[in-house]
Structure 1
């Protein structure tokens, strides 16, 4: 715990004295604990704009009120800065996620285009294969048809020759 006691020669000037600065900006729980330990017979310190810190109880705000007000102002500024930092971090995370999402979408688009090209190539290959198979099948059918015609002609010739050699003639 930080000692909040001011040295004997301190004039309670927070701008120049580290101990006074700590007394003004110390966390509120430490202030309330210190406040409980002090005697109430002391005159409260008062901040006057022209004179600085003074030991007068009739003018201006008491030191405790000033401390409390300053602490609240400091906390509000801190919370505001914290909110701004959180907001910036969320913006950065959102921007990063948008960038990652855009990159993923571009990758997916590239893969989709590659897939479409592969499907088109596959379709062309299938058409070429079918065309080649059909022409080969036509050639085989033509050869088989010629072979069948030749066999049929041979059979007719054989039948005709038998009929010529038959005993009826």
Structure 2
């Protein structure tokens, strides 16, 4: 009788133990994106269809709202695109992880986009198959009168390009 009781209790204890889900389970719940991926304030991003919301909370960037999908996944690193909802549209973030789910680096892809009384900055970006991220920044500025009205013929335009490269170690390095 004692052996049966021990066997019964062992079965109950082991069956009650929940197997903890990990990073590989989270990755399986995400959509895979096709590169190149383009981003702008007018981008439409839907969250991955069947993402695990509990695991998202565990692995997400602190400012993001939902995962868009896996941008790349190789033998050393994984890149996930997530997004937040900003005042002027969706804000995509690139987060890199090692294969165990440890965060390596992150970047707010359109982080310089802004609107103000004396100007605006719009950005667009493309992440290509070589894991190079090209961000084009278009900034307009103008003068305003005492009533905060735009003064005609004072608009200046500045366009710049910033290039990032995702390194083999997962770091996102600005190269230009």
The two structures have a TM-score, normalised by structure 1, of 0.26
- Structure with the bigger RCO (C-alpha within 8 Å, sep 6+) is 2
The structure in which a higher percent of residues are helix is 1
The structure in which a higher percent of residues are strand is 2
Q: Name the larger-Rg structure.
A: 1
